[in-house]
Amino acid sequence: MKELLTDRVAFITGAGSGMGKAMAELFSEEGAKIVATDINEANVQGTIDDVKKKTDGLAIKMDVTKSDQIKAAVGQAIAKFGKIDILVNCAGGVIGKSATSPTSNSIVTLPEEDFDLVIGLNLKSAFLVSQNVAPHMIEKKYGKIINISSLGAVHPPQSQPHYHPAKAALLGLTYDLAVELGQYGICANAIMPGVIKTAFYDQMLATKPKQFQEEFFDMLAAGTLLKRVGTGKDIANVALFLSSELSDFVTGAVIYATGGAPLRKEGK
């Protein structure tokens, strides 16, 4: 059977771990050449080491909040592969101004600096990367842009007045990209993941007993209709659809990949 991404070039941010890494690996299996970027140089090199078992790839250490680094990385990708067909804006997260002073989740106590950091990482980054990649897609009259939002953008499980608004605004950016770039044959869509078991949770629960960790994920799974938490591969599969010709008539769409959350069975 023909590979879905033969001869395509995918530029993926946040590809050193989690969902971004899963996308890089799956896309490479489907024939795409991979440009993997991440602020963690060792992690992103590990991703490309895996990718190169199947196809060609390029690892780039890049801070998605720095426009000069983004411009340089896109330039490296174009110099090596001559084009970028697929852009996945996957980098994101919740960060504080220091490791010893984590960001607050309260509107009352959230530091302005932390608000700016999280907006920059989750929203401005996608704007900057898309701004640098779009001209190359316009030139080729083809492109697929995928923004990774969050279910918390529209159904926040708790207060995060920096992260959730950033992910909500990312949906607005997706719509604008679709409106502006559709005339050039470029599709822009968003994925809204629910609870996905990634290194984020591994780090958060690292000091907790194994039983606590198991019960924690059981609790999260109980909040879905499918009674399980998601994996990076689950999100990568949706991204594969949006990156391939199977979605050539899909733009300006938001796909929930949440195991059915926030829907609830009656009485539950």
- Dihedral, 192, 194, 198, 203 alpha carbons, nearest 10: 120
Domain boundaries, the chain: 9-196+231-257, 199-229
Helix axes 18-29, 232-243, angle to 10 degrees: 50
* 9's tokens: 């070039």
Query: In this structure, how many other beta carbons lie within 10 angstroms of the beta carbon of residue 236?
Result: 23
pLDDT score recorded for residue 207: 78
Mean pLDDT of all residues belonging to the chain: 93
Distance between CA atoms of residues 120 and 65, nearest Å = 6
d(CA 261, CA 226): 9
Residue 264 has pLDDT above 80, yes or no: yes
CATH number of this structure's domain 9-196+231-257: 3.40.50.720
pLDDT tens for each residue of 101-158: 566 788 998 999 999 999 999 999 999 999 999 999 999 999 999 999 999 989 988 8
Q: Which of 142, 163, 175, 256 is catalytic?
A: 163
Q: How many Cβ atoms sit within 10 Å of the Cβ of residue 82?
A: 10
Q: Which two tokens stand for residue 60?
A: 């780039």
pLDDT digits (tens, 9 = 90+) for 194-235: 989 887 677 667 778 888 887 888 898 999 999 999 999 999
**Given the structure tokens 């590979």, which residue do they identify?**
3
Known active-site residue 184? no
pTM above 0.85, yes or no: yes
